[in-house]
Structure 1
Amino acid sequence: MIENRPLLNLISHLTLCLGVLVVAFPIWIAFVASTHAPEALNSGTVPLWPGDRFLLNYAMALGLETGQKTLNVNLISMLGNSLVMALGITIGKLLISMLAAYAIVFFRFRFRMLSFWLIFITLMLPVEVRIMPTFEVVADLGMLNSYSGLILPLIASATATFLFRQFFLTVPHELIEAARMDGAGPIRFFIDILLPLSRTNLAALFVIMFIYGWNQYLWPLLITTDEHYYTVVMSIQRMLSVGDAEVAWHLVMPSTLMAMLPPVLVVILMQRLFIKGLVETEK
């Protein structure tokens, strides 16, 4: 039985409101800054209420209106590059990790567990440790300044392989025997049975991997020298690196807010499946 404690409820709600305020206030400041003229933002004080240049600033950031620009490509192109990279990394990670976990759990072959532990050990090797040999391989293959160079080196995921393996181990053996008696081969068992069972896990990992791919900065920075392949994250950083010149905050802030929209939309649209994938197991 849960007791009704008004004081405890009040403290809980105040704590939640404080947390929302701490998280939302910087976003509000960014939105306000995106609606003002550059003179207002470079005066040394930050306005707290929106200005009258909302449509103009966002149109300039999207390249729909002429004005001061930091790069030769507009924000639409940057967002498209980030979207291609994020989706490519996400789909690649899910596909390869699921197939690897499927082979490790349901097939019996020599060095099966050794293969799994070799994959698992890579969790202790961040991208920064292996970035130079990876860059050399990508350069030798001629994939600099290309979508394949942005995506392929990042599609392997030990974390997703481990999570899929743990889920596949919970699949009842009776289900495997029933599928075998019905004449289902390995491919049909994978597509018709394992994929539907893994729906919530796929959704949870999709959200995590999409945000991971969208927020990539170091790898695109290394392999892209052509502005037409810049991602939105690295492009925003380049907008801030202006030396002694004044930062175009009226363009940086709209770009930052629009760069937040795709990950936020993915989380909102897949929120229910994302939560179920983290706390439940469908069988």
Structure 2
Amino acid sequence: MREQLPGSRTAPVDLEWPSIRDREAPLGAHVGLLVAVSLMALPLAVAVLISFGTRATLTSLSELSLETAARNYHDVLFRYDMGRYMLNSFLMSIVVVAGKLVVSLLAALAIVYYRFPFKNAVFAVVLVTLMLPVPVRIVPLFQLVADLGWANTFFALTIPYLASATTVFLLRQHFLSIPPSLVEAAKLDGVGPLRFLVFVLLPMSKGMLAGVSVIMFIYSWNQYLWPLLIVNDQSMQVSQVGIRLLRGVVESGDVSWPLVMAGSIVTLVPPLFVLIACRKPLLETFGVQ
């Protein structure tokens, strides 16, 4: 907005309105956010308290001790192999993230910058796969993996997750926002598709790739049903199945809930660390500045 000063013909003054971030939120908003955060953190706090005890039902805080907590977490990680399960989940997530990025980048590159028959129909088919629920796909996928002889192998944990319609869609939308002049300049300079991808698209997509990688890492880390079905060797299981195995630990005729809660807490740490480390690119992926 511009305001003309009295007695002046060409002396406009810019009036800058304060942005939403510059405005001070009312006290009620702070109280509401505090209550919401407290309610969401309550289950986590209860899990931490139970993991510090010797039984699930706490009658007083005096039952909690650091010595008991250290014993619970040590037993979970080493005696009941949660450390091995977490390592399997980490390796699985890293391979899935790297593989998905490669496949999705090449697919998005072809859909945006190549001309071929029925290109829009192909992209529509890719999007339709998002509508297929996991139970519909899991039986034929299990049969396919079993026929290939991959059951109970690391291939079965990773290969089925390498194709991602969501990642292809996000990268396609991002590539469409890149100025066409860069593409024309690359063609005039004789830059091939792969060089254009590596030296132009990837540097301009660092934020998007980081945000997508965080989403894919957490998605892979939280897999439960497919590893439970396809892997019979307990030493190859992942962290989410490991939590289920902890429920089989019985003490005094009851489930050892302190061990289960300790396993849940240590399983939460890696994705939480990834979220904190990559918070900014993740918010940029969803358009939050």
**TM-score for the superposition, normalised by structure 2:** 0.86
Distance 1:57 1:9 in 2: 44
1:55 and 2:62 equivalent?
Answer: no
- Which segment drifts farther, 257-266 or 153-162? 153-162
Q: Is 1:237 aligned to residue 238 of structure 2?
A: no
Could you give the per-residue CA deviations for residues 199-238 of structure 1, whole angstroms, max 9, x where no partner exists?
A: 1111111111111111111100110111011111112112
User: Aligned AA for 1:259?
Assistant: T
Equivalent residue for 1:9, pick from 16, 22, 26: 26
Counterpart of 2:41, as a letter, is A
CA 1:249–1:46 in 2, change beyond 3 Å: closer, same or farther?
A: farther
TM-fit CA distance, 1:113: 1.8
* 1:97 aligns with one of 99, 104, 123: 104
Structure 2 Cα separation of the partners of residues 169 and 5 of structure 1: 34
Distance 2:217 2:92 in 1: 9
User: How do residues 76-95 of structure 1 correspond to structure 2 at under 5 angstroms?
Assistant: 76-95=83-102
- Note if 1:212 corresponds to 2:229: no
The residue identity in structure 2 corresponding to 1:36 is G
Q: Evaluate the alpha carbon distance shift between residue 25 and residue 221 of structure 1 in structure 2; reply closer, same or farther with a 3 A threshold.
A: same
User: Aligned partners of 1:197 and 1:111: how far apart in 2?
Assistant: 28
Q: Which runs of 5+ in 1 are unaligned?
A: 64-68
* CA distance in structure 2 between the aligned counterparts of 1:5 and 1:11, rounded to whole angstroms: 14
| Paired position in structure 1 for 2:263 | 255
Which amino acid is 1:211 matched to? I
Question: Which secondary structure state, in structure 2, belongs to the residue aligned with residue 130 of structure 1?
Answer: helix
Cα displacement string for residues 128-160 of structure 1 (whole angstroms, at most 9, x for unaligned residues): 211100000101111111111011112211111
CA contact (8 A) 2:50 2:58 kept: no
Structure whose CA Rg is larger: 2
* Residue of structure 2 aligned with 1:266, choices 251, 259, 274: 274
Amino acid at match of 1:85: M
Tell me the residue number matched to 1:158.
165
After the TM superposition, which of the residue ranges 261-270 and 160-169 deviates more from structure 2? 160-169
1:201 aligned counterpart, secondary structure: helix
CA contact (8 A) 1:81 1:230 kept: yes
Please give the residue correspondences for 1:167-182 in structure 2 after superposition, counting only pairs within 5 Å.
167-182=174-189
Check whether the contact 1:78–1:235 (CA below 8 A) recurs between aligned residues: yes
Task: Tell me the amino acid that sits aligned with residue 55 of structure 1.
Answer: A
Instruction: Give the SS at the match of 1:136.
Output: helix
CA spacing shift, 1:116–1:9, aligned 2, 3 Å: same
Query: In the aligned structure 1, how far is the partner of 2:54 from the partner of 2:29?
Result: 40
Question: Percent identity, aligned pairs only?
Answer: 39
Decide whether the 8 Å contact of 1:81 with 1:231 is kept in 2: yes
| Aligned equivalents of 2:61, 2:86: Cα separation in 1 | 28
Higher alpha-carbon deviation: 265-274 or 109-118: 109-118
**Secondary structure of 1:183's match?**
coil
Distance 2:243 2:30 in 1: 36
Deviation at 1:242, TM superposition (A): 6.0
Unaligned runs of 5+ in 2: 1-16
Code of the aligned partner of 1:31 = V
Find the counterpart in structure 1 of residue 3 from structure 2.
none
SS in 1 for 2:133: coil
Superposition RMSD in Å: 2.3
